[in-house]
Amino acid sequence: MYIYNFEDGNKDMRDILGGKGAGLAEMTRLHLPVPKGFTISSDSCLKYLDDNKFFDELKPEIDEKINELELKTHKTFGYGENPLLVSVRSGARVSMPGMMDTILNLGLNSETVNSMIKKTGNSHFVLDSYRRLIEMYSDVVLGLPKGSFGEILNNMKKEKGYTKDSELTDDDLRLLISKYKENYKNLTGYEFSENSKELLYNAVKAVFKSWNTERAKVYRKLNEISDSYGTAVNVQEMVFGNLNDNSATGVCFSRNPVNGKNELFGEYLTNAQGEDIVSGVRTPSPIAKLKEDMPNVYDEFLSYAKELERHYKDMQDMEFTIEDGHLYILQTRNGKRTAKADVKCAVDMVREGIITKEEAILRVDSNRLDEVLHKEFNEDDLKGHEPIAKGLAASPGAAYGKVYFSAEDIKKAHDDGEENLILVRTDTSPEDIVGMKLANGMLTVRGGMTSHAAVVARGMGSCCISGCSDIEIDYDKKLFRVGKNIVHEKDYISLDGSTGNVYVGMIKTEDAKASVELQTFMSWCDDIRKIGVRANCDTKIDAENAVKFGAEGVGLCRTEHMFFTDERIFDLRRMILSPNEEIRKESLKKLEEYQRKDFLDIFSVMKERPVIIRLLDPPLHEFLPKKEEDIKKLAKSLDMSIEDIKKEIDEKKEFNPMMGHRGCRLDVTYPEIGRMQADAIAKAAIDAKKMGINVVSKIMIPLTISKKEYLFVKDIIVNELDKVMKDEGVKFDYKIGTMIETPRAAILANTIAPYADFMSFGTNDLTQLTLGFSRDDSPKFINSYIDNGLIKKDPFKSIDTEGVGKLVDLACRLARLANPSIELGVCGEHGGDRDSIEFFSRIGLNYVSCSPYRLLNARCSLAKAAIKEKMD
Amino acid sequence: MYIYNFEDGNKDMRDILGGKGAGLAEMTRLHLPVPKGFTISSDSCLKYLDDNKFFDELKPEIDEKINELELKTHKTFGYGENPLLVSVRSGARVSMPGMMDTILNLGLNSETVNSMIKKTGNSHFVLDSYRRLIEMYSDVVLGLPKGSFGEILNNMKKEKGYTKDSELTDDDLRLLISKYKENYKNLTGYEFSENSKELLYNAVKAVFKSWNTERAKVYRKLNEISDSYGTAVNVQEMVFGNLNDNSATGVCFSRNPVNGKNELFGEYLTNAQGEDIVSGVRTPSPIAKLKEDMPNVYDEFLSYAKELERHYKDMQDMEFTIEDGHLYILQTRNGKRTAKADVKCAVDMVREGIITKEEAILRVDSNRLDEVLHKEFNEDDLKGHEPIAKGLAASPGAAYGKVYFSAEDIKKAHDDGEENLILVRTDTSPEDIVGMKLANGMLTVRGGMTSHAAVVARGMGSCCISGCSDIEIDYDKKLFRVGKNIVHEKDYISLDGSTGNVYVGMIKTEDAKASVELQTFMSWCDDIRKIGVRANCDTKIDAENAVKFGAEGVGLCRTEHMFFTDERIFDLRRMILSPNEEIRKESLKKLEEYQRKDFLDIFSVMKERPVIIRLLDPPLHEFLPKKEEDIKKLAKSLDMSIEDIKKEIDEKKEFNPMMGHRGCRLDVTYPEIGRMQADAIAKAAIDAKKMGINVVSKIMIPLTISKKEYLFVKDIIVNELDKVMKDEGVKFDYKIGTMIETPRAAILANTIAPYADFMSFGTNDLTQLTLGFSRDDSPKFINSYIDNGLIKKDPFKSIDTEGVGKLVDLACRLARLANPSIELGVCGEHGGDRDSIEFFSRIGLNYVSCSPYRLLNARCSLAKAAIKEKMD
């Protein structure tokens, strides 16, 4: 059986009937006024796409269902005095708005047009419907140029001096129909068929085929929808919102999809068909007006909306048609909404007793929760702006500003008192950090979701679009091109980091506020989740945000980020290149003072919450200067020749820096760096203690490969901490642990665990090494992998559970066997990704750590995970 | 008990007694004429170094043993009429020649000097011995400047007009002794002690302490000797080769250590002490002369030498002294020898019934077998040359030639008809390949044993010294500096790739020939080893060498190496940068023709032996030009602007190319490349078939991460192979397999194995990814790891069995579970390393593959592994 009457299906049959079909079936079951019809299953689509001959098998079943529909409606299809007209609409398992095609008014032909005119007494309506059928069929089913029909219509209107379609007389329409048919014949070589069945078959096939159009494929890829679903086809008796002035058609949400308020939100047009709303030729009325115009119909609709909401336990997005005063519901589905509305709906529905807290949590799209906190475009201002390019939504929030093409230019503009600056670059590097901090938003051509720009931006909570390969920067001319658009320096652009959309011009932004509902919702999540949430914080501001957004500690403090100011990086560079012991010691002393202050800042915000500080991680050469003036300054200060400095810089360069001289390898070769950091941590902890804060400093050794190496570095740190405690006569608690980032450390976690208080999985590096995918280089080929179905998702966005996840799971088991009290967490970018978090919860980590702006997502995702685990 | 009399020990007590002590004990047990004495164990050394106070515990035991020695020799120590004189010598578990210190003639003081004169009637000898004691003690025990004593002696000789020490009269010597003592007092503030016990204690302590001198540490590091062994101390009754003209001292090997002939090989000096031989002031006589001078003593020595050889089952290196016609053996140990001698000795000893074949195989140092095949310095010519620098012995063999600092200059010199060229560079890149091929040898400043230069050189069998950080290149001035030496372009240098030594000037080289003994030895190895041996071959010459050195197939043919000629790389570049389909196809067609010929060349040499061809592996940007002229040429040919070409090159650059767009990722994004290669392989196989060779082409997909990816690429290849077979109407056998190089592929080997005929572990990449150690960058920090005992060996030289090895082992088990008939091998650099090969044999791989010049080593190592496994 490939076809189901609406009365034979239900809402749980989405996989077979598609979303629309399941909705129509369910509403039929609920005895809502749904025009009768049937759904051709999505299996049929797949079978047809696999082998066209399958249609021969399907055809008799379609005929049978049309017969049944004729009996139920007391109408006849394609002939007779009471003709049956049907619509053919696609409907996949997952909503794909605008992606699939619709054909209306099937069943009209020369004979039935006359019957319909007789029956309705509205010849204009019937003739116009037939005209539309010819045009729509030609366009949608045969792909004939739409313009050629539009031209015929426009020519006629011009000739006659009409401005509106409604001015066309019946004769005009009849002439138009014959001209359309003539055009059809010219384009195809065939007459437009009088056989309605034939048109119906072709319409069904066209819907099937539309599953594989380019735009459908692209939409599915962007939305991670499987190609293997196929689409169902709904064949339904027509009802007419354009029958007369007592008719109308409209769309309506059961609640406000922008702010979530419990009120009908929608619009309608009297005497119109659905496509008239979409086309935007006439301006629809707000739904509230229906209450005045047709109070009974409004009340009836409201009661259906509430019923559907209670039935589906979710806010509904409905389509309806009023035919001569009779209300019909043509579609219902869960309504898309903003993150803000999502939370409010969920919380309200719990209070209204429609859903449970658990259902509310499972419902809310945690990945979008961050949006609630970031700047957003002013809605009114956004209207009328079309994106000129789309990149990766790397760091959420909205921003506008003047374009600059270098961090220095941003700094200069800032110093000149300019505000609202946008940095546009091919990619960014640590040198750009000052400019990045001053920019409202960043747009990069290269780099993925975890590129330097993306990570820094998310950390700072500022907006970033990365990997926007549509744009082409010309640094010399200070402009970028995208298609035909050219954007010069100081031109305004606007970025939406939540969608990846780039706009020309200034779109005003406004602050998002944390609503009461959000607070309530998050507290429910916290009650339900089983594992801890910490934040990645490098600065006091990060720490403050972390506390604000609910972090229970700092899971990762990247000490290298503390050096990215002019003064500090200068001293760091002096230390790295120091030609003698004396200068090295002097520079280390300075760096220690900076760090001591940094740590104290964070401690004073985090109070007794645990703070995991990671020892210096990146290769030292990353800190070395590239600019001539910086090199000069350094040479002067070190009393070295510029040539020698350059030579040193050159010698320190690496072929594969990710696998180079970094992480705890730095402490093995330069133990004085580790000692300096331990010193700073110890002194900051003592400072904090004197302020009455009992800090638990957790020191994390990065990029470990073995027990011996770990113990070697641990000894350096512990000796220094103990020394400071002894010298200062103050004791404080500390823990030492390590980051598991190399496959070697993962498979040998049992050997390291007995000596570690905690382990944190650095899943960024672990992903790089396990797959051999460089984070920065893989964007060049990762799309080929996704397009060819070789991987499902970018493994830097969502953890590769099968490979990297297997290693993490294995390492956890090994570590716990060797040290049952060890604390296990994760602090890679995956700590802020919904699917990854569910995985981490399932394998029983103690906590996840993510950037402060991902905390809401993390807390909610963890709650979801806990609920799902309970259900399993 | 810390001290053992010689008669209480034996040869198996090396760990406690050291090599020398164990040898003395064993010879004593064999009743050879060994002066009596005792050995202070190496434990004592470690205890003393740990805590100086330990000596108080040791002292009574020394006293006791001296007492016993007095009783045994009927002499008294430090007093009396028949005084006991002893030597104190170090002797660690492993031979450390020249590293530790010796003190002779302890027991002499003002009193015993007189007794000795009375006893021997040779006052000159006794006084001279005392003088030497004072000097030696001052130098070795106290570290006083040796020159100050030499100066006193020289002044006196000058004053008196003497040229030789022997001209000194007794009075001169007495005066000299008092002047020495005066100098001693001036330098130390104390009198030279008359208490011989005190001098003995201090001598023992000095030997203990010499374990930790810088040169000892460096020696141990270079020779991979543990710091935790400590040294034993041998205290032994003095015998005097300098007593009279019927006395002598000498060193002798039981066989020729250069060529392995069964003949005594050594030299001696009459009337001399050991140090006189070492100092080289007098020229010693060859051992054959002893047969004329003292035929009885010679015969006695020869019989001892044979006895020791049979006893130790190895060629012996002995020290002896003849005191007034009496022969004493002072030391025996296994003799160091050349690789050539090593093989001949082993084979001869098997034939002589001294050892079994298995013992012979275990004995031979397989890592050095390659030396037998490479060019070597003419021995005579080598004499008198001191190395000016030492780098890594990256590719064995010797070479001399004129220095050039760029591959182009080498090419130019070659084109000008010059021969014998040496390339000296900071490091090399694929662009240098032409120059590298033309050079006799290469010397690089950077890079380890697996750097580009090293790998290429080993592959070509040419000599290479890499990582020679002593030298500093000035490209502008076309010279390099090392210490005070400056070597200009066109100066001659000589390189020994087997030792890492760099010499100034020309040292002639000669061809090494494979001896009959070598052939015999290798056939024994082949009989015993259990697993296969293949070679890594990229050219016909490689393949010919491989067959010559016993390869059973090609384990790795790196197709990218085939593109490194001007013409071919040009077409490859055109393909990579092709602006349109047409040019791409045209370039691919050309490349296919090249490859087809290459493969046929290799097939025609390897005949029916399996040939594993790896699909293109390196990132494409590695092939792109750097030189302006190459860019220009390319731009012209592609009708593109130079700017555009540069932009393309820039865009293709990668941050971490090792984890970049390479391996089978190239086939995923550019399936046409895989298709081209499959095409070339198929056509070559058909060509071969037409020549009567039934090739089994094995195609290897590199850098796999998953089953899906593997199958995707496999499908591309298989379809193409099948297509060519169909088109040409000829069938041939092929197999498809993959390289396991990513940790992900290793832990998921069971998912891939069912679809693979074979798997080869690419342990270079696997090591990089498992440890996160970039092969090219790790030399910067790997020494710190070795120095601090964090790793034992460079994991790129010898496989990290604990980490990488664990993954390989795991992957093997997983793969065999899923596909019991799968063939498993290894083709990384580790395939040619002795320790790694033993590991691979143990975990049961089917074969190892290495560069042709490592085949002897591989075959021998595998035989060793098989023998050891049998013994376990």
Residues B155-181 pLDDT 10s: 999 999 998 888 899 999 999 999 999
pLDDT digits (tens, 9 = 90+) for B16-35: 999 999 999 999 999 999 99
Give the HSE-up count for residue A293: Cα atoms under 13 Å, Cβ half-sphere: 17
Structure tokens at A446: 């290269």
Measured between CB atoms, which of B663, B744, B777 is closest to A655?
B777
Residue range B39-56: mean pLDDT, rounded? 94
**In the predicted structure, residue B97 carries a pLDDT above the cut 60:** no
The beta strands (E) that lie in A437-561 are given as 441-444, 463-466, 472-474, 479-482, 485-488, 492-496, 501-504, 509-510, 532-536, 554-558
Asked if residue A89 lies in contact with residue A233, where contact means CB atoms within 8 angstroms, the answer is yes
How high does pLDDT run on average in chain A?
91
Considering only the beta carbons, identify the residue of B656, B660, B708 that sits closest to A790: B708
Residue B403, strand partner residues:
B422
Cβ of A742 within 8 Å of Cβ of B788? The answer is no
What lies within 8 Å, CB to CB, of B747 at 6+ separation is A803, A806, A807, B807, B810, B811, B814
What angle is formed at CA A255 by the lines to CA A251 and CA A257, rounded to 5 degrees?
80
The mean pLDDT value for B127-144 works out to 91
- Sequence-separated (6 or more) residues with CB below 8 Å from residue A201: A55, A59, A62
Give CA–CA dist A863/A82, Å, rounded: 57
CA distance B241 to B282: 14
Work out the average pLDDT over A716-741: 96
- In B84-230, DSSP assigns E strands to 86-92, 102-106
Task: Say if strands B265-270 and B285-286 run parallel, antiparallel, or are unpaired.
Answer: antiparallel
Structure tokens at B48: 């003393």
Contact status, residue B767 vs residue B836, Cβ threshold 8 Å: no
Q: What span, in angstroms and rounded, lies between the C-alpha atoms of B540 and A92? A: 59
Biggest CA–CA distance in chain B, Å, is 105
Number of A/B CB contacts below 8 angstroms equals 174
Residue B790: list chain A partners with CB under 8 A: 668, 706, 708-709, 712
DSSP 8-state class, residue B369? G
Strand, coil or helix: B462: coil
Catalytic residue among A664, A827, A850, A860: A827
CB–CB of B633/B577 below 8 Å?
no
How many distinct helices (H) and strands (E) make up chain A? 34, 33
**The two structure tokens encoding residue B467:** 């990582």
Q: Please judge whether A781 and B807 are an interchain contact, meaning their C-beta atoms are less than 8 angstroms apart.
A: no
Would residue A452 show up in a list of annotated catalytic residues for this protein?
yes
CB A374 within 8 Å of CB A853? yes
∠A152-A158-A164 over CA atoms, to 5°? 90
Token pair listed for B19: 């090599």
The residue among B827, B802, B801, B822 whose CA lies nearest residue B812 is B822
CB B44 within 8 A of CB B58: yes
**Six-digit token string for A278:** 């979409």
Q: ipTM value of the model?
A: 0.75
Band of residue A100 on the pLDDT scale cut at 50, 70, 90: low
B812 as an active site residue: the answer is: no
CB burial of residue B178 (10 Å; 0-12, 13-18, 19+): exposed
Q: Which residues of A touch B803 (CB under 8 A)?
A: 705-706, 744, 747-748
Six token digits for residue B229: 């062994």
Is the separation of the CB atoms in B240 and B105 below 8 Å?
A: no
Tell me phi and psi for residue B73, to 5 degrees.
-100, -5
pLDDT in tens, B458-481: 666 688 998 898 899 999 999 999
Of A654, A741, A777, the CB nearest to B774: A654
Per-residue pLDDT band at A683 (split at 50, 70, 90): very high
Long-range CB pairs of A161-170 (<8 Å, 24+ gap) are A165/A128, A166/A124, A168/A124, A168/A128, A169/A124, A170/A123, A170/A124, A170/A127
CB A32 within 8 A of CB A329: yes
Q: Which residues from chain B sit within 8 angstroms of residue A665, using beta carbons?
A: 781, 784
How does residue A392 score in pLDDT terms, banded at 50, 70 and 90? confident
The residue of chain B with its CA nearest to that of A748 is B803
| Biggest distance spanned by C-alpha atoms of chain A | 104
Shortest distance between the Cα of B477 and any Cα of chain A, in A, equals: 15
> pLDDT of A217-242, one tens digit each?
877 776 678 888 999 999 999 999 98
Is A245 within 8 Å of A271 (Cβ atoms)? yes
Cβ-defined contact of B661 to A780 (cutoff 8 Å):
yes
Query: pLDDT per residue over A53-96, tens digit each?
Result: 999 999 999 999 999 999 999 999 999 999 999 999 999 988 77
Contact B853, B549 (CB under 8 A): yes
Residue A429 φ then ψ, to 5°: -140, 165
Average pLDDT over residues B515-544: 94
Neighbours of A304 (CB within 10 A): 21
Other CB atoms within 10 A of residue A731 CB:
12
Give B-chain residues touching A655 at CB under 8 angstroms: 657-658, 774, 776-777
Q: Is A841 left (phi over 0), alpha (psi -120 to 50) or beta?
A: alpha
Name A422's bridge partners: A403, A441
Over residues B531-535, mean pLDDT: 96
**HEC string of A603-628?**
HHHHCCCCEEEECCCCCHHHHCCCCH
Whole-angstrom distance, CA of residue B291 vs CA of residue B314: 24
Give the percent of chain B with pLDDT over 70. 97
Question: What is residue B448's predicted lDDT score, i.e. its pLDDT?
Answer: 65
Instruction: For residue A89, list its beta bridge partners.
Output: A102, A234
Query: Cβ distance A403 to A422 under 8 Å?
Result: yes
Provide the 8-state DSSP code for B108: B
Q: Measure A706 CA to nearest chain B CA, in Å.
A: 8
Q: What is the mean pLDDT of residues B134-142?
A: 91
**Strand A421-425 with A398-404, pairing:** parallel
Report the pLDDT value the prediction gives residue B277, as an integer from 0 to 100: 66
pLDDT at A222: 64
State CA B322 to chain mean position distance. 36
Chain B residues touching A663 at Cβ < 8 A: 772
- Name, of A254-263, A446-455, A835-844, the range with top average pLDDT: A835-844
Residue contact A770–B742, C-beta within 8 A: yes
Token digits of residue B142: 């106290």
Percent of chain A with pLDDT over 70: 97
Q: Write the DSSP assignment of B785-853 as a string of letters.
A: HHHTTS-SS-TTTS--IIIIIHHHHHHHHHHHHH-TT-EEEE-SGGGG-HHHHHHHHHTT-SEEEE-GG
Contact yes or no for B747 and A806 at CB 8 A: yes
**pLDDT at res. B616:** 94
Query: Which residues are within 8 A (CB) of B806 and not within 5 positions of it... i.e. 6 or more apart?
Result: A747, A748
The strand ranges marked E within B310-453 are 316-323, 326-334, 376-377, 389-390, 392-395, 398-404, 421-425, 441-444
**% of chain B with per-residue pLDDT over 90:** 69
Distance from CA of B777 to the nearest CA of A (A): 6
Give the N- to C-terminal CA distance of chain A in Å, as an integer: 32
B800: three-class secondary structure by DSSP = coil
Confidence of residue A503 (pLDDT cuts 50, 70, 90): very high
Pairing of strands A479-482, A485-488: antiparallel
Burial class (CB in 10 A: 0-12, 13-18, 19+), A800: buried
How far apart CA A16 and CA A2 sit, in angstroms, is 9
Short-list B767, B843, B842, B760, CA closest to B803: B767
Contact A203, A137 (CB under 8 A): yes
Judging by DSSP bridges, how do beta strands A376-377 and B492-496 pair with one another? unpaired
Confidence tier at A841 by pLDDT (50, 70, 90): very high
Q: Are strands B398-404 and B392-395 parallel, antiparallel or unpaired?
A: unpaired
Q: How far apart are CA B493 and CA B420, in angstroms?
A: 10
CA-CA distance, B464 to B391, in Å (whole number)? 9
Can you tell me the distance from the alpha carbon of B27 to that of B9, in angstroms, rounded to the nearest whole number? 10
